[in-house]
Chains A and B, each alone.
Chain A
């Protein structure tokens, strides 16, 4: 049609041209018809989305073996426990390392490498740990059989964590240890607060009582590593992790996957039982959901909205899913030192204008409405405080009137939001629609997480921003002190990104910090919690609900309240899975109409 070249061609076979043309036309028509039939066949025979799991499981006794595959949508940055401070690296590190203390499924601290909880002195400043005997490091250069962990390893690791060269982001958590700041600054060669009593006993001395010291000793920063391995690999040690954990490091293809093999010398009984763990990096949510359903991946913890609804409503998946609130709080941070948020009434107006139920609808109900900084389940969370921040347009308009802006603000206000994906876009649009109701025009600025961290940490830079906090350890100080105390305000890298200053509340927090009576301490935190909710440096939006799914042959799995992925007790129902895999195959299923627009379900 477009290539209409002149038809003045003289070929030797002129005579036969006409019949050939006809034949060709016929052939073309036939090809066309076959093609159309093929296409229609394709569409009509399109298999329906399988409703349930592809592979089943059997009722057998817990046993070892098999390969467990899990994934994340981003990539691991480092395998050095002293450096890692992101969720993903933590996931990988916890497979290979173990600490003196750990959390059980009720968020209680329990001994791990330690034989029992440490003895604490009267004044709350001296902690003595007794270590298990026979805890072995994985094989490492020069030590093909590994070697036993002793108290000196714990001391060495803590010193490495505090040294300036390593530059651990976790150092501030341990600055209460006697001599730690001086050692960090390079003024001394030793930390007098860490004392090795004998091979299986170690003591920590603090300059002041710290109620969170045991919590920080359970953080991955405090996981012991062997000196020999650090010396053998130097700065490359982050690619050659050696710990005492249930799995040994096998390999890491950057950006693709990490593999781990079973450590036969692991000392705990509640270990994960597979022979091999495969951690796939950079798998998008959409892809992960599809691969999970095809049985390529054994568990998923994040889903795209439509997949979330699919799994939530599926009867067949019901026994293999769990939904629970994560220990995180999200909200809109407002810089209390910048216009218009210097005005408390504006901040409160925003807190009362957010239609949290509507947000929840738009997100398929994957959240709990939030009205205070401490999420449900966190000590200090106050059920009675739910009214302090809620959706009520009348109150919101009244607050705008009190603020002196009954008709709203004249200028659009920039709100920062991280990421460029659909989720952040959707949240931005929800906020825009809500604040329009009280006459505030939202000017969304999409920035990278790095820019957000950098700029919101500076005074007088970012007026308002989407923000959130994920717990490090289950203690209210990990939310309130870090996010709202004036101590967390600096010229840059402030964690108090709202630049909220309240001397009265800070006094309460300071009193709580060194207090040993748990109930009295929590009472103080409840007070602080209420002050924040009413002053609204953040307009709290939601506590995320997390849905985790696993294949039927994955057994013994339960979500952990502190760690986002924790596979202790997990085992694979291997024979049945293999059987299922060989029987089920992959391929066409039941015919389904493709374009009956109500979807493929």
Chain B
């Protein structure tokens, strides 16, 4: 499916390589983290990690608790590793769901055109004219029992618009091609045409957009967590750890800077990778 020249262009792109390495790294952290974590991320060591005067154990202070304590006497390293797993899980699944929605909308609307197209595109306009974060906050207030699944659903439901537009444009382009017109004339079913001829043509832009979407999802999840609307306790995500660390910023800056660094590295990696892929698929841009 991927054309060999694209692969060559991709490999020649140093930024993309760096991006790929970063992405690989955080993904590995996310997958292996929970197994590498030395402690249960929710276990509270109230007597050992919190000193008598209320101060928290610092990094490298106690053997067995490499990064010290978080605000409630839990092992910071374990939380960071588990938090990565949750953050990446949310980001990957939300992206997958976004792509699913976006492609379905984009393809149906670009391929069939007419009333389907108008309705879908008006709906996209509608969503785009609403403030994203505000909407997310309101939704989170409605759902009293928000699970990870709800969070993923929410992120996807509010982010598929751009992907749908891009897919639609590409599909409209492809639809005009002669061999598709011919296939239609030969009586091929819509499903078959879509599967065999249209979808492969939109894969490139979707992969590119999807990669940058993962970065956006990480940011959105963290933003929601920063407002206290992220994952449910006692779970941790990098976003919620950043939120907790912020109020201890003057006293223990590492509690905020560690998850912040992970977030920035992840976002940076996915952005670089996305850009590299874009150059590879579409060299003139």
Q: A residues near B, CB below 8 A?
A: 1-2, 4, 49, 285-286, 290, 304-310, 313, 355, 358, 361-365, 419-422, 425-426, 428-430, 432-433, 443-448, 597-601
Contacts and interface: CB of A to CB of B under 8 A. Distances in A.
Most B CB contacts (10 A, CB to CB) among A306, A429, A444, A445 go to A306
15 contacts: A1-B14, A305-B71, A306-B247, A361-B54, A362-B72, A420-B229, A421-B228, A422-B71, A425-B233, A429-B44, A429-B233, A443-B145, A597-B59, A597-B253, A600-B250
Interface string B22-49: 0000000000000000000011101100
Contact of B44 (A307, A313, A433): A433
B275 interface: yes
Interface residues of B, number: 45
B128 interface: no
A599 B43 CA distance: 25
B11 to A, nearest CB: 12
A286 B144 CA distance: 28
Interface of B: 12-16, 42-44, 46-47, 50, 52-55, 58-60, 71-73, 141, 144-145, 227-229, 232-234, 243-244, 246-254, 272, 275-276, 279
A445 B233 CA distance: 10
Contacts of B144: 445, 447
B251 A422 contact: no
Contact of A598 (B58, B243, B272): B58
B116 to A, nearest CB: 38
B141 A448 contact: yes
B275 A309 contact: no
Nearest to A284: B247
A175 B250 CA distance: 51
Nearest to B232: A444
Given A2-B279, A420-B229, A358 B246 contact: no
Contacts of A445: 144-145
Pairs of residues from A and B, 8 with the lowest C-beta to C-beta distance, nearest first: A306-B251, A364-B54, A420-B228, A2-B15, A358-B46, A304-B247, A1-B15, A306-B248
A428 B44 CA distance: 13
Contacts of A308: 54
B231 to A, nearest CB: 11
A598 B251 CA distance: 8
A268 B149 CA distance: 61
Nearest to A594: B253
A599 B72 contact: no
Contacts of B53: 309, 313, 364-365
Contact of A599 (B60, B229, B251): B251
A290 B275 CA distance: 41
B140 to A, nearest CB: 9
B72 A286 contact: no
A313 B55 CA distance: 11
B72 A597 contact: no
A307 B145 contact: no
Contacts of B254: 597
Contacts of B228: 419-422, 425, 446
B21 to A, nearest CB: 14
A600 B253 contact: yes
Contacts of B44: 358, 362, 429-430, 433
Given A1-B15, A445-B144, A426 B72 contact: yes
Given A432-B233, A447-B144, A598-B58, A1 B227 contact: no
B16 A2 contact: yes
A420 B247 contact: no
A488 to B, nearest CB: 25
B55 to A, nearest CB: 6
Given A355-B46, A361-B50, A445-B144, A4 B250 contact: no
A430 B74 CA distance: 11
Nearest to A360: B54
Contacts of A363: 54
Given A2-B279, A420-B227, A426-B71, A305 B16 contact: no
Contacts of A305: 54, 71, 247-248
A462 B59 CA distance: 41
B13 A2 contact: yes
A308 to B, nearest CB: 8
Most A CB contacts (10 A, CB to CB) among B44, B47, B54, B58 go to B54
A446 B227 CA distance: 13
B14 to A, nearest CB: 5
Contacts of B233: 425, 428-429, 432, 444
B8 to A, nearest CB: 13
Most A CB contacts (10 A, CB to CB) among B71, B251, B254 go to B251
A598 B58 CA distance: 7
Contacts of A4: 12-13, 279
B247 A361 contact: no
Contacts of A422: 71, 228, 243-244, 247
Nearest to B244: A422
Nearest to A309: B54
Given A420-B229, A422-B71, A2 B272 contact: yes
Most B CB contacts (10 A, CB to CB) among A307, A364, A421 go to A364
Nearest to A598: B58
Nearest to A420: B228
A309 B58 CA distance: 15
A425 B229 CA distance: 11
Contacts of B276: 2
Nearest to A3: B279
Contacts of A290: 250
A286 B42 contact: no
Contact of A2 (B72, B234, B248, B275): B275
A1 B279 CA distance: 11
Contacts of A425: 228, 233, 244
Contacts of B54: 305, 308-309, 361, 363-365
Nearest to B51: A361
B76 to A, nearest CB: 11
A466 to B, nearest CB: 13
Given A309-B55, A361-B47, A286 B246 contact: yes
B252 A306 contact: yes
Given A306-B249, A422-B71, 16 more contacts: A2-B276, A286-B247, A313-B53, A419-B228, A420-B228, A422-B243, A429-B44, A429-B72, A429-B233, A432-B233, A433-B234, A446-B228, A447-B144, A597-B253, A599-B250, A599-B252
Contacts of A365: 53-54
Contacts of A364: 53-54
A443 B232 CA distance: 10
Contacts of A432: 42, 233-234
